[in-house]
Amino acid sequence: MKKRWFNKSMVTSMVGALVLSGALAGCSSGSGEDGKTTITVWGMGEEAKSLPKIAEQFEKENPKIDVKVQALPWDQAHDKLLTAVASKKGPDVLQMGTTWIPEFAAAGALKDLTPHVKDYPELDPKHFFEGSVETTKFEDKMVGVPWYVDTRLLYYRTDLLEKAGYKEAPKTWDELKEAADKLADRGKGKYGISIDAKEQSLSFMFARQNGAELLGPNNEPNFNDPKFVEAVEYLNSFYESGAAPKEELGMDIIQGFRGDGILPMFISGPWMIKLINDQAPDLEGKWGTAVLPAKENNISALGGSNLSVFEHTKHEKEALKFAAYMSKPETQLKWMEMTNSLPATQKAWEDESLTSNEYYKSFGEQMESSQPMPVIKQWEEIAQTYLKSFEKIYRGGADVQKEMDAFDKKAEEILKK
């Protein structure tokens, strides 16, 4: 399954307008008769199912703290968090998708960790990738700590590119387009690359590579800027030349990647490494990963999850201890072994398990040029609105400049909300 990019739909009415009563199951517990303090940790999605194993190790090092893990499905987590914030009764520690930080920080739900760094040095921002730290900031506060990260890079069939005349992955926009066109020329039903039109970060990522600023200094939209328009035209050129399919092919990306390589290149995240190894063992030695090709730069999108401490926790010290434990390089490496989630601490990337793995090594290199989408509460709505405009372009043949002019006006209205 494709791992989520954590851009879940946001409730724009905001928490302050929500009137709910009652505590939510799984809320913080006090000290028990045995003298232990129980803290509750909310985790999201499939990864949360592995959290109890890490919690057990934390408990061994902290015998006076019990950790109760509650796993929430991503499609229910947002509303449950809203309920917890409104009632001021929730978990002690909670997983936050990076795009959720502005909303819940603005609602006063997330504790500022800045004053606690001196007592819990593992939380110090200097230990993490700069782009990851950016996702934890709200105004002048650090309301979370990076837990795990993901970014996007290029997956490619080394054998098929070599046949097309390329001994290594494309390094520039021009090389990527040229290689994709040559691969598409292999015959009917063959393509050069998969461009996922539903991946909302893709165009913004390429626009940044072209030197575009998505938002101005006062958060004014720049989506009809020539550099942004040129990036959209570049992506659309893959559809226009037939290098990328416009329609769904009735197969998943791994099916398209293996065999004759109907889709011999695609852009995706780290979870695909395990999926390819598990589902396409026949491709061993025939594929690779590489940092994204560059124009002015090769900036990729950065996602992942943060850990935050609930503002209304009654067990601040214990919650901070848990967040600090999860921020240790050795803990994040264990977490990677369990879930294939990439560590957010830079120190962890010095470990041999990452430096000696040719697939993961590329992700470490790409992390040096990865940035999150703008950390504002309106971004999700802007991104979803863009996808509608992009569909009119690649599928309907709309003029790129005119469509981006219209999208820019819509974005301006969204940003005023």
Task: Give per-residue pLDDT as tens, 393-402.
Answer: 999 999 999 9
pLDDT at 6: 40
In this prediction, residue 251 has a pLDDT band, given cuts at 50, 70 and 90, of: confident
The domain spans of the chain are 37-150+303-371, 153-301+377-416
Domain 153-301+377-416: CATH class, spelled out: alpha beta
Alpha-carbon gap, residue 59 to 65, rounded angstroms:
6
Neighbours of 175 (CB within 10 A): 15
Alpha-carbon gap, residue 270 to 252, rounded angstroms:
16
Return the percentage of the chain with pLDDT > 90, whole number: 75
Alpha-carbon gap, residue 158 to 130, rounded angstroms:
31
Bridge partner list, 149: 304, 342
pLDDT at 215: 96
| 77-106 per-position pLDDT tens digit | 888 999 998 999 999 999 998 888 888 998
How far CA 100 is from CA of 78, 103, 213, 323, 361, in Å, comes to: 9, 6, 22, 18, 29
Residue 31 has pLDDT above 70, yes or no: no
Domains 37-150+303-371 and 153-301+377-416 fall in the same CATH topology: yes
In this prediction, residue 250 has a pLDDT band, given cuts at 50, 70 and 90, of: confident
Going by C-alpha positions, the residue among 122, 98, 92 that lies closest to residue 317 is 92
Alpha-carbon gap, residue 124 to 344, rounded angstroms:
12
Q: Are 47 and 71 in contact (CB under 8 A)?
A: no
Ramachandran region, residue 223 (left: φ > 0; alpha: ψ -120 to 50; beta: rest): alpha
Residue 7 has pLDDT above 70, yes or no: no
How far CA 312 is from CA of 77, 85, 91, 236, in Å, comes to: 18, 9, 9, 48
Query: What is the Rg, in whole angstroms, of the alpha carbon atoms belonging to the chain?
Result: 22
Written in H, E and C, the secondary structure of the chain is CCCCCCCCCCCCCCHHHCCCCCCCCCCCCCECCCCCEEEEEEEECHHHHHHHHHHHHHHHHCCCEEEEEEEECHHHHHHHHHHHHHHCCCCCEEEEEHHHHHHHHHCCCECCCHHHCCCCHHHCHHHECHHHHHCCEECCEECCEEEEEEECEEEEEHHHHHHCCCCCCCCEHHHHHHHHHHHHCCCCCCCCCECCCCCCCHHHHHHHHCCCCCECCCCCECCCCHHHHHHHHHHHHHHHCCCCCCCCCCCCHHHHHCCCCCCCEEEECCHHHHHHHHHCHHHCCCEEEECCCECCCCCEEEEEEEEEEECCCCCHHHHHHHHHHHCCHHHHHHHHHHHCCEECEHHHHHCHHHHCCHHHHHHHHHHCCEECCCCCCCHHHHHHHHHHHHHHHHCCCCCHHHHHHHHHHHHHHHHCC
pLDDT at 25: 39
pLDDT at 52: 95
- The bridge status of strand 145-151 relative to strand 342-343 is antiparallel
pLDDT, averaged across the chain: 90
Bridge partner list, 138: 141
Return the percentage of the chain with pLDDT > 70, whole number: 92
Q: Are 142 and 114 in contact (CB under 8 A)?
A: yes
Alpha-carbon gap, residue 256 to 190, rounded angstroms:
9
Q: Are 313 and 30 in contact (CB under 8 A)?
A: no
Cβ partners under 8 Å of residue 247, min gap 6: none
Q: Are 101 and 80 in contact (CB under 8 A)?
A: no
pLDDT at 21: 33
pLDDT at 400: 98
CATH number of 37-150+303-371: 3.40.190.10
Amino acid identity of residue 100, one-letter, is W
pTM value is 0.83
Residue 290 has pLDDT above 90, yes or no: yes
35 token code pair = 């003298």
